[in-house]
C-alpha cells in the first residue's frame, strides 16, 4: 500500500476512535475536543507580519504590497494585481483587543494569503474572536472572507487553519457554541476549504470525520438553520441565465445596525459584513465592516451589485459580502 494512503488510514482511524468516549467533555477551547485537537495537529505554519495597533509605520510585504494602521487602529493593506490595477483593503480592528497579522500559502500557485486575527472583547470567553482573510487569485487580485468564532493563536499562527495529510488544500475549522451558561452549551464544528480565492463549506466525510461535526444526542442541531454557511464559492451560471448583478436603488436606516439596501428589483438586504467595490480602471476596494457613510457613497453611483455568501445566527441571516461594480 502506498505510504500516503497508509498515513491517511491511520489518521482516519485515530480520529474515529476519539469520538465516542470523549465528545461529551466540556469544551472551553477547540483543543478541548479530542477529535478537533487531532485535526489541529495539521496546523499550517504562518509567518507573523506584525500587530494591528497604530504605530505610524508602513510595512512592506511582497510584490509591492504595503500594510499600515490608521490612528484608530484600523488596518490598511494595499497592493497591485498583475493587470496593473491597484487594490486597497481596510480591516476594522481596535487599539484595545489583541490583533495580529500573519501570512501563509493557503492556495498553491496563488500569492500568499493575508490573515488577520482580532481577539474578542466581550464576556463570551473568546468566542467573539474575528478571523479576516485576504485570498488572492493567480493575478494577485484579493477576495475577502471573515468569520467570528473561537480562533486561537500560538507561535505558528492561527490554530484553526490546517492542512489534512495528503492534501494540498488549506482548511479552516470554525467552532460554533450553542446554548447558554444556564441551560448548558453544546459545541459543533464547521469545516471550510480554501478553493483559489474563495472559501467552500464542507458537508460530508473528510478523513474519517463527518462534517459538520455535531455533538451526540442532539438531532435538533443537525438541521439547525443557525449553522453558518459563509461559503463564497458561487455556483456556475445556468444556460440562458441573466446576470446575477442587480441595480442598487437606495439605502434606508439611521444607524449602522439597522441599515437596509433596496434594489430596483428584488427584496431588500441588510448591511453586508464586507463590501467589495470594483471601480472601473481604478481597481478594487475592500472594506471589512462598512459604515453607513461607506454604503451611502456607494449607492449614490447606482451601481450593480450581488451578494456572495451569508452569515447566520440567532434566527436571522445577513449578507457576508456585497460585491459591487461602479462606473
What is the C-alpha separation between 18 and 269, in angstroms, rounded? 43
Helices (H) and strands (E) in the chain, counts: 4, 24
Positive or negative, the Cα torsion across 282, 93, 195, 154? positive
Of 180, 131, 59, give the one whose Cα is nearest residue 311.
Answer: 131
DSSP letters spanning 193-256: EEETTEEEE--EEETTEEESB--TT-HHHHT-TTS-----PPPPPPTTPPPS-EEEEEEE-SSG
Tens of pLDDT along the chain (327 residues) come to: 554 444 444 444 444 443 433 333 345 556 678 899 999 999 999 999 887 754 555 555 555 567 666 555 678 889 999 989 999 999 887 666 788 899 999 999 999 999 999 987 665 667 889 999 999 999 999 999 999 999 999 999 999 999 999 899 999 999 988 777 777 778 889 999 999 999 999 988 988 888 988 887 666 665 554 555 789 998 776 655 566 789 999 998 877 778 899 999 889 999 999 999 998 888 999 999 998 999 999 999 889 999 999 887 656 788 999 999 998
Partnered with residue 172 across adjacent β-strands are 161, 192
Q: What is the pTM of this model?
A: 0.84
Backbone angles phi, psi at 289, to 5 degrees: 75, 55
What local confidence, expressed as pLDDT, does residue 309 receive?
92
* Cβ atoms of 246 and 263 closer than 8 Å: yes
Of 6, 31, 2, give the one whose Cα is nearest residue 18.
Answer: 31
The contacts of residue 65 (CB under 8 Å, 6+ apart) are 77, 78, 79
Q: Is 134 helix (H, G, I), strand (E, B) or coil?
A: strand
Of 288, 292, 297, 281, give the one whose Cα is nearest residue 322.
Answer: 288
Neighbours of 293 (CB within 10 A): 9
What local confidence, expressed as pLDDT, does residue 7 receive?
41
Of 124, 192, 207, give the one whose Cα is nearest residue 158.
Answer: 192
Amino acid at each position: 500500500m502506498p505510504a500516503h494512503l497508509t498515513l491517511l488510514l491511520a489518521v482516519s482511524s485515530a480520529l474515529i476512535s476519539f469520538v465516542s468516549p470523549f465528545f461529551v467533555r466540556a469544551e472551553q477551547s477547540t483543543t478541548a475536543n479530542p477529535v478537533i485537537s487531532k485535526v489541529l495537529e495539521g496546523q499550517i505554519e504562518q509567518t507573523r507580519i506584525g500587530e494591528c495597533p497604530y504605530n505610524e509605520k508602513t510595512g512592506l510585504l511582497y510584490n509591492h504590497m504595503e500594510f499600515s494602521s490608521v490612528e484608530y487602529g484600523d488596518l490598511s493593506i494595499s497592493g497591485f494585481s498583475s493587470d496593473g490595477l491597484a487594490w486597497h483593503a481596510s480591516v476594522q480592528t481596535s487599539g484595545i483587543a489583541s490583533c495580529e497579522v500573519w501570512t501563509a500559502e493557503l492556495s498553491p500557485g496563488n500569492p500568499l494569503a493575508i490573515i488577520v486575527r482580532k481577539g474578542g472583547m466581550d464576556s463570551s470567553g473568546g468566542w467573539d474572536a474575528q478571523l479576516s482573510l485576504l485570498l488572492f487569485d493567480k493575478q494577485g487580485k484579493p477576495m475577502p472572507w471573515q468569520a467570528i468564532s473561537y480562533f486561537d493563536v500560538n507561535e505558528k499562527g492561527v490554530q484553526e487553519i490546517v492542512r489534512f495529510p495528503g492534501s494540498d488544500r488549506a482548511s479552516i475549522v470554525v467552532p460554533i457554541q450553542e446554548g447558554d451558561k444556564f441551560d448548558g452549551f453544546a459545541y459543533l464544528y464547521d469545516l471550510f476549504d480554501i478553493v483559489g480565492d474563495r472559501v467552500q463549506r464542507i458537508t460530508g466525510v473528510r478523513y474519517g470525520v463527518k462534517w459538520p461535526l455535531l455533538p451526540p444526542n442532539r438531532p435538533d442541531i443537525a438541521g439547525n438553520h443557525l449553522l453558518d454557511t459563509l461559503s463564497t464559492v458561487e455556483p456556475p451560471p445556468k444556460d440562458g441565465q441573466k446576470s446575477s448583478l442587480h441595480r442598487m436603488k437606495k439605502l434606508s436606516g439611521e444607524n449602522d445596525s439597522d441599515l437596509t439596501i433596496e434594489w430596483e428589483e428584488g427584496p431588500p438586504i441588510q448591511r453586508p459584513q464586507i463590501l467589495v467595490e470594483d471601480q472601473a480602471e481604478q481597481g478594487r476596494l475592500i472594506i471589512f465592516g462598512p459604515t453607513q457613510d461607506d454604503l451611502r457613497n456607494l449607492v449614490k453611483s447606482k451601481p450593480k451589485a450581488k451578494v456572495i455568501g451569508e452569515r447566520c445566527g440567532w434566527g436571522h441571516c445577513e449578507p457576508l459580502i456585497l460585491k459591487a461594480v461602479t462606473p
